[in-house]
Amino acid sequence: MVIGAGFAGLAAAASLAQRGYRVTVLEKNDGPGGRARVFRTQGFTFDMGPSWYWMPDVFEQFFARFGHTPADFYNLVRLDPSYRVVFGHNDFLDVPADMEALRRMFEQLEPGAGRRLDDFLGQAGYKYRVGMSKFVNKPGRSVLEFADPRLLVDAVRLDLLQNMHTHVRKFFRHPKLVELMEFPVLFLGATPQNTPALYSLMNYADLALGTWYPMGGMHEIVRGMVRVAEEQGVEFRYSQEVELIEVQNGRATGVRTSSGLVEADIVVAGADYHHVEQQLLAPEHRHYSPKYWETRTMAPSSLLFYVGLNKRLNNVRHHNLFFDEDFNQHAHEIYEAPRWPSKPLFYASVPSVTDPSLAPEGCENLFLLIPVAPGLGGDDETTRQRYYDMVMTRLEQHTGQSVRDAVVYCRSYAHRDFIEDYHAFKGNAYGLANTLRQTAILKPTLKSPKVSNLYFTGQLTVPGPGVPPSLISGQVVAGEVEKENALPV
């Protein structure tokens, strides 16, 4: 039994079924994908969550397990430029996909930075290769997993004790280059000062491996994963919200939904970890206390707008990062003094630039995202409208055209929606922050210490937040289930 049909739940279900288990997936919502659901209206197709396709090797490796390639399910294209960073009026950088062009861009901004980029990415590439081959697939259940002396040597070179703020500034001084190199950690759940330099591996994923896009939208990945799972015999039941996990003598015997009891020999929870543990289990079966959860550092939530326009936009790319306000101030208002941001950074995705099928002819599909602190009160229509007006004004300034009068569809989405749709702890969008104190064995464990056949997967356990880590998490938990629950001969 797998609870939840997000990326982690889908990966776990397909991997377990391939190993010979009979798997049923129960999903609260009316279709698969979790945060990566899709909705269609008025001729527009909106991905509801993830919009960046990084680390293509992770997707290739997942589908290869089942004799497939991503191309069996979607057409993947590399974006060039990868994305645009807007620093102010008529002040922006288009980040090229070509490495030589990228070096030239760095060199033009800061003499010597092109050579130092090679050095930086050389180190980041090492971290990526070692992290992906030796660390990310570990279940994080015991320190003994890391007892190999060779891993300890690697750990030193992974810069776990240096932070990203210091690490980036060893190589670059120009403020635009610094912000470019620090931006990926904004979504990992901490300021650059509190994020281990290990995560420069994200810069390697960004600048070296590239930014890609599956034509048709990110939900095409979900569709492919569902097809793989169904090929393995997985059964999906939608609109089946789990209300309780039944436990007898320290073992889960099934889950109770509004439709009744569904028996299970093993339960893998791909739904929100906090919700499963604190709401679906009786108190005596919970491992963590409410205080434990309240002291976790969460990655951000998001205020989102799905916007349909009746015209095309000028002067935009597929991905557009608006850093035209103070980067450090916004990060401070997410992580250190949580409040609604005074002058937010924001991200605008215009996927119809790459894929016109996502909007009616002559129209534009626009996805706006403002990173905000989790757990904030005041998520009301007045607040949402205020931020909508802020970002629209800046978008109009950058594009040099009116935008608001072209809006034919707009839907907002924030904390209360994440809670309603996903039971997201504190309305978080990205899960648990990747701080040093919440890495590997210091994350919530993927197996319940109190319910012997209950496992967890997803962005609140190992390896962490993001689509590729969630794919990996599902596969890791499937391996742990197989180790500890032999099938009858």
pLDDT confidence of 147, banded at 50, 70, 90? low
pLDDT confidence of 488, banded at 50, 70, 90? low
Instruction: Give CA–CA dist 469/107, Å, rounded.
Output: 33
How do residues 222-270 score in pLDDT, each as one tens digit? 999 999 999 999 999 999 999 999 999 999 999 999 899 999 999 999 9
Q: Position of tokens 């015209």?
A: 311
How do residues 48-80 score in pLDDT, each as one tens digit? 999 999 999 999 999 999 999 999 999 999 999
The fold for domain 2-77+215-296+434-484 equals FAD/NAD(P)-binding domain (3.50.50)
The number of beta carbons lying within 10 Å of the beta carbon of residue 420 is 10
Instruction: Give CA–CA dist 130/128, Å, rounded.
Output: 6
CATH class (in words) of the domain with range 100-209: mainly alpha
How do residues 457-480 score in pLDDT, each as one tens digit? 999 999 999 999 999 999 999 999
The pTM assigned to this predicted structure is 0.97
% the chain with pLDDT above 70: 97
- The closest alpha carbon to 368, from 81, 48, 95, belongs to 48
How do residues 278-295 score in pLDDT, each as one tens digit? 999 999 999 999 999 999
Mean pLDDT of all residues in the chain? Answer: 95
Determine the residue type at 12.
Answer: A
Contact at 8 Å (CB) between 74 and 216?
A: yes
Better-scored residue on pLDDT, 486 or 263: 263
pLDDT confidence of 489, banded at 50, 70, 90? very low
Q: What pLDDT score does 117 carry?
A: 98
pLDDT confidence of 440, banded at 50, 70, 90? confident
| CATH number assigned to the domain with residue range 298-422, chosen from the 4 options 3.40.720, 3.90.1480, 3.30.519, 3.30.457 | 3.30.519
Better-scored residue on pLDDT, 146 or 484: 484
Instruction: Give CA–CA dist 267/34, Å, rounded.
Output: 18
Q: What are the domain boundaries of the chain? A: 2-77+215-296+434-484, 100-209, 298-422
How do residues 297-342 score in pLDDT, each as one tens digit? 999 999 999 999 999 999 999 999 999 999 889 988 998 899 999 9
